[in-house]
Amino acid sequence: MSNSTKYIFVTGGVASSLGKGIISASLAKLLQARGYSTTIQKLDPYINIDPGTLNPYEHGECYVTDDGAETDLDLGHYERFLNVPTSQANNVTTGRIYQSVIEKERRGEFLGKTVQVIPHITNEIKERIQILGNKGTYDIVITEIGGTVGDIESLPYVEAVRQMKWEFEDDCIVIHLTLVPYLAAAGELKTKPTQHSVKQLLELGVQPDVLCCRTEHKLNFDLRKKIAKFCNVNMNAVIEARDASTIYDVPLLMQDEGLDKVVLDKLGLPTTGSPELTVWKEFLTRLKNPTSEITIGLVGKYVELKDSYKSISESLIHAGAANLTKVNVKWIHSDKLTTENCNEELNELNGILVAPGFGSRGISGKIEAVRFARENKVPFFGICLGMQCAVIEFGRNVLGLKDAHTSEIIEDCKDPVIDMMEEQKNISNLGGTMRLGAYKCQLTPKSNIHKAYNEDLISERHRHRYEFNDEYLAQYEEKGMKATGKNPETGLVEVVEIEEHPWFVGAQFHPEYKSTVANPHPLFVAFVKASLNK
Ligand code: GLN
């Protein structure tokens, strides 16, 4: 559409957690809906190579792409909004930048020069930004800079943005997201933090082109004028970003504010017509007009921090809309679930979802939840560790293998029904030992999972080290737990189901990473549907 790729940078000021990811995804949606092929990238200023080894308490969910990158959860929003897969190149951390520069230094690529933050680190950052632009696939690349302007660790990124703005004058703009707080005592919205935040950017040589102002109240004409005047931006480039009842309203709110128009205008792209958002609006209509309501119990060990299960809760929202059903989630601490309180905690639920996870904490509660769902014929959906718990529970309570366990928790257990894959055994470095990314799975006709997808061969994303132990498969199948999905190349069991149960599906893969507004995930849709029938 345009001759050269356009770059939009999104920075944040005043406070963290203002929702740069949602603003970026919403803008991308509007641009995509106007026919521009758009992608979003997140630059994270921490030193971990990727968030794969980060505790979810620190950083929320680790999102996984088709190509097996362990990434920031914002990439999940990008995919859910755009319905286009992201990849390794869409998430870069300071750790990865430094790793790459240091490797180049070791190879002698800098020809004896002193290796410095400027230009070597900033060049590496600029290269990473342009990798997506140079692909030729995208008209527009939106790059979200993690953290808050003024943080020490963000400095090289802001400097890279400054250089790119200088080098690609007509093809780059900066959107700065700030907070306009409401002071109840004064009964006023305050613009000073925004002014200061923009000053801070200016000190670093970056003039923002657009300001998105998070606010709980309306930004009136005078306030907009004041912000525009003190921050050197046009009045129409002061965008009000009010709190929304659902994140899926934000693209439409941003359209009302004219964010897409002002951005296109500044990039020199035509602004005629309006975004084609029929599918999006249909989704919102379904979401907001449910005809029934259910409660799903989400059993996990990080439930205090709901961001740890972001993709799962969003998938349930998509599946709810598809079923015209309001899905309430009851967050259940697997740590606190016991044989004694199971009935009380899980009794009223329409469906039970046992979440993924690592390590021993909370695993016995998860196994109890599986038992409850199996015995009481409550629709059950186990994801990754949740599926493994279903296998352990069935082994112990149906096959009578009292010591059935996963060798992740008890390495030399008597009945390792979940065990380390042979090819993983020799890898000891925690950073890179997992089966990650998309793998194919062959489904058994007439199974519940086959009915859900209505396909024989699917592809889903993985993130795990342990697997169903094939040596036990015959015993399981004989007693009614069937392997209804297998990897067609390796034969690894990917899905288990209990025949004599209305809906009991355990999946080794993570379907939640692939649910989008345009394509609510069929397994979640089927799970919600089964739960509706309960
Ligand atoms: N800890 C389990 C494994 O590594 C499950 C991982 C997960 O739930 N993502 O196999």
pLDDT digits (tens, 9 = 90+) for 219-228: 999 999 999 9
Quote the ligand 1 centre to 63 CA distance (angstroms). 14
Q: Does the CB atom of residue 435 touch ligand 1 within 6 A? A: no
Give the Å distance between the CA of 462 and the centre of ligand 1.
9
Cα(419) to centroid(ligand 1), Å: 11
Q: Best mutation site among 408, 435, 460, 510 for ligand 1, i.e. most ligand atoms within 8 A of its Cβ?
A: 408
Q: If you count them, how many residues does the chain have?
A: 534
Active site residues: 384, 510, 512
Q: Decide if pLDDT at 130 tops 60.
A: yes
| Ligand 1 mean position, distance from CA 507 (Å) | 11
Q: Whose CA is nearest to atom 3 of ligand 1?
A: 464
Q: What CA–CA distances, in Å, run from 133 to 91, 97, 169, 437, 450? A: 14, 18, 15, 23, 39
Please count the other Cβ atoms lying within 10 Å of the Cβ belonging to residue 440: 15
Burial of 240 (0-12, 13-18, 19+ CB in 10 A): buried
The mean pLDDT value for 339-343 works out to 93
* 386 Cβ inside 6 Å of ligand 1: no
Cα distance between the two ends of the chain? 51
Share the mean pLDDT of the chain.
94
Closest-CA residue, ligand 1 atom 5, reads 385
**Ligand 1 pocket, mutate which of 54, 61, 384 (most atoms under 8 A from CB):** 384
Kindly give the distance from the C-alpha atom of residue 425 to the centroid of ligand 1, in angstroms, as a whole number: 15
Contact 460, 490 (CB under 8 A): no
Residue ID of nearest Cα to ligand 1 atom 8: 356
What is the mean predicted confidence (pLDDT) over 24-34?
A: 97
Cβ–ligand 1 distance for 419 under 6 Å, the answer no
The count of other CB atoms within 10 Å of the CB of residue 49 is 17
Give pLDDT tens digits for 385-406. Answer: 999 999 999 999 999 999 999 9
Asked whether 51 and 62 are in contact (CB, 8 A), the reply is yes
Residue 531 has pLDDT above 70, yes or no: yes
pLDDT tens digits along 219-257:
999 999 999 999 999 999 999 999 999 999 999 999 999
464 C-beta closer than 6 A to ligand 1: yes
Closest CA to 391 of 416, 356, 413: 416
* pLDDT at residue number 2: 44
Distance 508 CA to ligand 1 centre (A): 8
Nearest to 147 by CA among 238, 72, 69, 55: 72
Q: Is 356 in the pocket of ligand 1 (CB under 6 A)?
A: yes
Q: Measure 427 CA to ligand 1 centroid, in angstroms.
A: 16
CB 370 within 8 A of CB 380: yes
pLDDT > 90: percent of the chain: 89
> From the CA of 463, how far away is ligand 1's center (Å)?
7
Instruction: State pLDDT tens for residues 133-165.
Output: 888 899 999 999 999 999 999 999 999 999 999
How far apart are alpha carbons 476 and 498 in whole angstroms? 10
CA quadruple 368, 373, 374, 379: dihedral, nearest 10: -150
Give nearest CA residue, ligand 1 atom 1.
358
Q: Which helix (H) or strand (E) holds 439?
A: strand 435-443
Tell me the sheet residues that pair with 499.
none
The finding on whether 126 has its CB within 6 A of some atom of ligand 1 is: no
Q: What backbone phi and psi angles, to 5 degrees, belong to 297?
A: -90, 125
- 165-173 long-range contacts (CB < 8 A, ≥24 apart) are 165/206, 168/4, 168/7, 170/267, 170/268, 171/4, 171/5, 171/6, 171/7, 171/267, 172/6, 172/7, 172/8, 172/9, 173/6, 173/7, 173/8, 173/9, 173/209, 173/210, 173/263, 173/266, 173/267
State the closest ligand 1 atom to the C-alpha of 408, by its place in the atom list counted from 1. Answer: 1
Give 457-513 pLDDT, tens digit per residue.
999 999 999 999 999 999 999 999 999 999 999 999 999 999 999 999 999 999 999
Q: Are 228 and 234 in contact (CB under 8 A)?
A: yes
Q: Read off the pLDDT of each residue in 59-68 and give the average, rounded to a whole number.
A: 93
Q: Which two tokens stand for residue 13?
A: 């000021």
Ligand 1 closest atom vs CA 358? 1
CA 383 to ligand 1: nearest atom: 8
Q: Is the pLDDT at 1 greater than 50, yes or no?
A: no
Protein residue closest via CA to atom 6 of ligand 1: 464
Indicate which atom in ligand 1 lies nearest the CA of residue 357: 8
pLDDT tier at 423 (50, 70, 90 boundaries)?
low
Which helix (H) or strand (E) is 495 found in, with range?
strand 493-498
Least confidently predicted of 117-121, 197-201, 278-282, 360-364: 360-364
Site of tokens 């480039």: 237
Substitution site in 70, 385, 513 for ligand 1 pocket (most atoms within 8 Å of beta carbon) = 385
Rounded Cα distance between 268 and 264, Å, is 6
Q: Where are the beta strands (DSSP E) in 50-185?
A: 63-64, 70-71, 91-93, 140-145, 172-179, 182-183
